[in-house]
Structure 1
């Protein structure tokens, strides 16, 4: 873990395992944050935005697979899953939920360090806009991790549907999302007119976020195709 020092979050309910991982992280010149359960882990992840998360699947308050899903709503930080369970089904569930790698307990410190280094190298790719760091566009600040949008420093209230639509656009900032991609992301498999649904809710978002809703600069229409969240500052 070359400089600058990487912050690693360890979420495991066994103090002995946490201390082993902390020692391995610090030996590689990193900083370790510890959490004994899912709730604390998610709270620290939102606050500290760690470069890597080491996550035990068998947590006392929530299944580790659900924690993976929750993290992936806003973070691109690599997740290294630890588990005492050896089945391929468990590994597949964790990887399908967004984990990047899997290590079965008991594990060697050398292998743990090597896998963490590999994940950190891969993680130096582009972060999730608005998730790994809040997205700032003029007076609008979008923080996906904390589900917060502010304009001129004041909170902007969004309905759950508006929030889901904004999150889909922001996590793909700079890329055109088709009507179908956005409709599937927000409404799932429900039947309906994707273009009409989107036109209504894009209108709501523009009224709340754009300086001039009739001349949008944040949520841009790509005629006949879909919408794009602007990637410029």
Structure 2
């Protein structure tokens, strides 16, 4: 299968070798050289697979894996210069699907990538990516939010990022810290107060009564959750 593969590798020469091998097998390869770019690009590109180096500037590969795994089931193949068992187990515990130590054989890496892609092809259900929770619809591909009227509701990038995370797991209570992790890939200045402002603005745009929200609910002392609303809670 031809796939869209994101390569996050700070070694420019190694990254180019990986790109060459991937493109020779018919894949589309996108290369970034730091962890923050890896997070931003993965969110925007929605790749079929991520090849992720552990040691990278700005955000290391382990944190990249942890953050993206909370948002996505994208297969992750991690690369590391360390061969210790602890590092291997940590990467797998954070959600990596496979692990290779450097130096590695590019041919073996391609074989591992083919195996991961076949696994995804077998188990991934057809999905248009649209998230619907009660009267709220979030379309990540079109970057659109719709409310009960069905009309597109304009949202800032931060509002959309927070709402998308909550819509992907309706009913889950998110702490402010967890929602901050969704935005800090592109906005390092975000704070707990920023998340409160995003939620307040989303309520004004989506709730019939923002003072008594039915879907964007506060869980006092913890954070926020997105629910279908009282009319659909039993469905």
TM over 0.5: yes
Partner of 1:215: 231
Matched, 1:126 2:127: no
1:203 corresponds, among 203, 208, 214, to 214
Change in Cα spacing, 1:165 to 1:40, as seen in structure 2 (3 Å) is closer
Residue 42 of structure 1, CA deviation: 1.4
Partner-residue secondary structure (3-state), 2:215: helix
Partner of 1:194: none
| In 2: Cα distance, 1:42 partner to 1:82 partner | 16
CA contact under 8 A between 2:145 and 2:152: conserved in structure 1? no
Partner of 1:154: 153
Partner-residue secondary structure (3-state), 1:42: helix
Cα-Cα RMSD: 3.8
| In 2: Cα distance, 1:98 partner to 1:70 partner | 10
Partner of 2:104: 107
Q: Which runs of 5+ in 1 are unaligned?
A: 170-176, 188-200, 223-233
Partner of 1:19: 16
Residue 164 of structure 1, CA deviation: 6.7
Partner of 2:35: 38
CA contact under 8 A between 1:53 and 1:80: conserved in structure 2? yes
| In 2: Cα distance, 1:86 partner to 1:146 partner | 42
TM-score, length of structure 2 as denominator length: 0.65
TM-score, length of structure 1 as denominator length: 0.66
Residue 122 of structure 1, CA deviation: 1.2
Residue 141 of structure 1, CA deviation: 2.9
Partner of 1:228: none
Change in Cα spacing, 1:202 to 1:128, as seen in structure 2 (3 Å) is farther
| In 1: Cα distance, 2:143 partner to 2:35 partner | 18
Residue 138 of structure 1, CA deviation: 9.3
Q: Which runs of 5+ in 2 are unaligned?
A: 176-211, 218-225
1:49 corresponds, among 46, 49, 53, to 46
1:6 corresponds, among 3, 6, 12, to 3
Residue 134 of structure 1, CA deviation: 3.8
CA contact under 8 A between 2:214 and 2:230: conserved in structure 1? no
1:150-198, Cα deviation, whole Å (9 max, x unpaired):
432104797x9988764422xxxxxxx8xxxx4xx546xxxxxxxxxxx
CA contact under 8 A between 1:74 and 1:144: conserved in structure 2? no
Matched, 1:79 2:76: yes
| In 2: Cα distance, 1:66 partner to 1:147 partner | 25
- The number of residues matched between the two structures is 186
Change in Cα spacing, 1:127 to 1:103, as seen in structure 2 (3 Å) is farther
